[in-house]
Structure 1
């Protein structure tokens, strides 16, 4: 059972018991039950009014009414807390020396580069001479050594100081554009949210804690009821 309805049930039970009890205990129990029920129901209604419009109750359905403001606030929160230019720049800086392109280069097929080399040689003035001695079949023996050499050379280039510095400089220059791109993605995603989706999302996030508001409303209401019965 929901925490709110359970609290209401307990309060109603206490009120029922008060009619069985006698003397000052009856009065105390009845006051405690009534105040607890009042506090719980009031908080329950207030929570309901956050998410749903209630006829004749001004201010109800505030989440639906303030949908656009909530959506803008969500974007501002996301961008200011997670994707500020400073934080993106800091992340890029922290990743500077961890960039290793070797695995990518190892998996890259350099055959198109070899084919381009063969075409260049065969189309050059040397093509006719090579054709007399077997043509591309002769050059084909160089394929594997060529591919291995170009792969090794590319890895050496990617690990050179000049290449790393150029790559890091490009990343730093692009961090501002990255912030704008992330902002656009966040905005597009939030634009897909409807008032109902916002309501359901916030309700799902807050449901557990909102339930405790009803419980504590009942507890404090009951305590006030007992104090009131003793004072009066």
Structure 2
């Protein structure tokens, strides 16, 4: 059973606030301020994580990951076309292949496994660092704090694109694209249109689902540390006030 770190930490902070009304002096202000500051820190970071994926009216920069999905799709398209379906590659296919559509299908499947998805991951990290979470992430290591997400992110995308380009409808369109074409230039144009059509199936909601659970699980620690740092500040404040 997966424990929701964010919810558990915020509940503990809330219990500290509630417990302060049970305890008498002199512990009450220490417990109250520690719990209140911890709760404010945890809720602030929870909201920041939430706003990576959801638009919140009145909050500039919220929903940054779905908002950048067009850029995300454009990066994938360029990777496929520039790395594996450039004119030089197609000229080679037409020169020595008898079943061009079969060769292209095999190459496309292989290309998904070889895609340089690191650049797509870096784009995602840049979006996160420019969001309202950037400051807190900087305290916890900045870009390095998200590095452990790189391999799971790449694996999820590879699996998704393997399924996307392995559909029977795509194979049929690929065969149709080269059936009456006699030069690589014509096939290249058709390939670009086909890949664009496939990528159009990616919606903001789908992009969000690909990364949401993975990132939320990892960034849940920001809520924990927000509570810890907030609680320490609240405790220090109580000590300074009573001295």
TM-score (norm 2): 0.49
Match of 1:197 in 2: 206
> In the superposition, relative to structure 1, how do residues 28 and 74 fare at CA in structure 2: closer, same or farther (>3 Å)?
farther
Partner residue in 2 for 1:68: 70
CA-atom RMSD, angstroms?
Answer: 3.7
> Is the 2:10–2:39 contact (alpha carbons within 8 Å) kept by the matching residues of 1?
yes
- What is the distance in 2 between the residues matched to 1:7 and 1:74? 38
Greater alpha carbon shift after TM alignment, 70-79 vs 1-10: 70-79
Larger Rg: 1
Return 5+ residue gaps in structure 2 as ranges: 86-95, 98-103, 113-160, 166-194
Name stretches of at least 5 consecutive residues in structure 1 with no aligned partner: 86-169, 172-176
The answer on whether the counterparts of 1:79 and 1:183 sit within 8 Å (CA) in structure 2 is no
Aligned to 1:53: 55
Q: Distance in 2 between matches of 1:79 and 1:24?
A: 69
* From 13, 16, 35, the counterpart of 1:14: 16
**TM-fit CA distance, 1:8:** 1.5
Q: Is the Cα contact below 8 Å between 1:33 and 1:222 reproduced in 2? A: yes
Matches within 5 A, 1:213-228: 213-228=222-237
Match of 1:38 in 2: 40
Count residues in correspondence: 145
CA contact (8 A) 1:51 1:63 kept: yes
User: CA deviation digits over 1:87-119, x for unaligned, max 9?
Assistant: xxxxxxxxxxxxxxxxxxxxxxxxxxxxxxxxx
For residues 28 and 215 of structure 2, what CA distance do their matches in structure 1 show? 37
* Residue 64 (structure 1) shift: 1.8
How far is the alpha carbon of 1:209 from its aligned partner? 0.7
> Cα offset for 1:216?
1.4
Structure 1 segment 85-100 matched on structure 2, within 5 A: none
Q: 1:222 to 1:73 in 2, by over 3 A?
A: farther
Contact 1:34 1:225 in 2 (8 A): yes
